[in-house]
Amino acid sequence: MSRVFFFIQEAFRALRRNAAPSTAAIVTTGVTVILLGVLIPIFQTAQAKSNQVRGQLNFQVALYADATKAEMSSLGDALQEIPHVDKVEFVSKAMALEELKEDLGKDKARELTSQLSENPLPASFRIIPDDAANLSAIRAAIVPTGPNGKPKPISPIVEKIFDRQDESQKIEQVTGALKIVLTVIMALLLIASLMLVGNTIRLSIYTRRREIEVMRLVGATRWFIRWPFMIEGVVVGFTGGLVAILILWLGKITIVDPLSSSIAVFDAQNNSTLTFPALIGVLFCAAVLVSAAGSGVTLRRFLKV
């Protein structure tokens, strides 16, 4: 137990001796944790919205007007058997017209229907995939390429396919770019914290190099020398993480919570897979681990005694 107190005392003595770099390391760790605390919910919100939109992507197989009930029933069964098809819904001409009216709004729908003598919309099957990434594969299965190299539908009553392939590709591109940007930002923040904590430990080692040499001469083990520096790094991470978490908590109760009822983006319960306490726990552990890792890397490279 006396050794533990000795290590802690030495760590705090080194922090006081190197007040300026230690403060810089704490500030950098705190800023990193704050930015991670903001970026992680943003990433989760974007991912949730992307999945929500992707889940609504589908395409419709329009049918010829002279298709019989037996042919439509047979096609419906065939569509359901295609791999990656989650659900097949039949949309009659009347249902298609009602959906169009809902999309256009009451005024435009009234103007449109007043000019129509009959319903021009075809009956169709709405294909809902298990994943938006499989839309192209399902389309290819419905309209495969024939022996002559031309597309041939799986049923003669298939007139046309209305899909949203462009929307699916755009969503994939935006989501992928967002993931890359946020990953790069988080990696740079972590590297900056590692480097600054490492520089603080290296400066502490340099100022105590004579003391370390004496400790080695009297038989102190390497770990006996390393423990104060490791504790120093953990204290930096603990302090920086604690300050950052306090700021994030204040931001939550003053900004996020009041706006969550009116702005869906701020609704953490709907848009985030991590609750706020869980997020705080992850960030706090990350701050301590990153600082400890910075200390360990620096000790391994520079503590050559």
DSSP conformation letters of 186-205: HHHHHHHHHHHHHHHHHHHH
Question: Measuring CA to CA, how many Å separate 187 from each of 30, 33, 290, 297?
Answer: 15, 12, 12, 17
pLDDT of residue 274: 67
Q: Which helix (H) or strand (E) holds 16?
A: helix 2-17
Q: Estimate the share of the chain in helix, then strand, then coil, as percent rounded to the nearest 5.
A: 75, 10, 20
Characterize 179-204 residue by residue with b for buried, 16 or more Cβ atoms within 10 angstroms of its Cβ, and e for exposed: eeebeeebeebbeebbebbbbbbbbb
Euclidean distance between CA atoms 105 and 96, whole angstroms? 14
Beta bridge partners of 145: 151
Residue 91: phi, psi to the nearest 5? Answer: -115, 110
Nearest to 88 by CA among 70, 74, 75, 76: 76
Q: Are 60 and 104 in contact (CB under 8 A)?
A: no
Q: In the chain, which stretches have pLDDT less than 70?
A: 1-2, 50-56, 106-107, 109-110, 112-116, 163-172, 197-198, 200-201, 204-205, 207-209, 212, 259-274, 296-305
Locus of tokens 């996020």: 256
Strand ranges of the sheet holding 85-91, from the earlier edge strand across to the other edge: 85-91, 124-129, 59-63, 158-162
Number of Cβ within 10 Å of residue 144's Cβ equals: 11
Query: What's the whole-model pTM score?
Result: 0.59
pLDDT digits (tens, 9 = 90+) for 68-113: 889 899 998 999 999 988 889 898 888 888 877 777 776 676 676 6
- Residue 125 is predicted with a pLDDT of 92
What pLDDT score does 179 carry? 75
Which element (helix H / strand E) includes 138? helix 135-142
145-158 pLDDT, tens digit per residue, is: 877 778 888 888 98
Strand 59-63 with 158-162, pairing: antiparallel
Which residues make Cβ contacts (< 8 Å) with residue 186, sequence separation at least 6? 36, 39
Amino acid letter, residue 190: L
Count of beta carbons in the 10 Å neighbourhood of residue 20: 9
pLDDT 10s digits, 24-35: 778 878 888 888
Quick one: how far is CA 2 from the chain centroid? 46
User: Is the dihedral angle over the CA atoms 113, 119, 122, 125 positive or is it negative?
Assistant: positive
The dihedrals phi and psi of 237, each to the nearest 5 degrees, come to: -65, -40
Nearest one of 142, 126, 130, 135 to 171, comparing CA atoms: 135
Length, in residues, of the chain = 305
Neighbours of 95 (CB within 10 A): 15
Q: Which of 124, 126, 120, 7 is closest to 67 using CA atoms?
A: 124
Residue with tokens 């969550």: 260
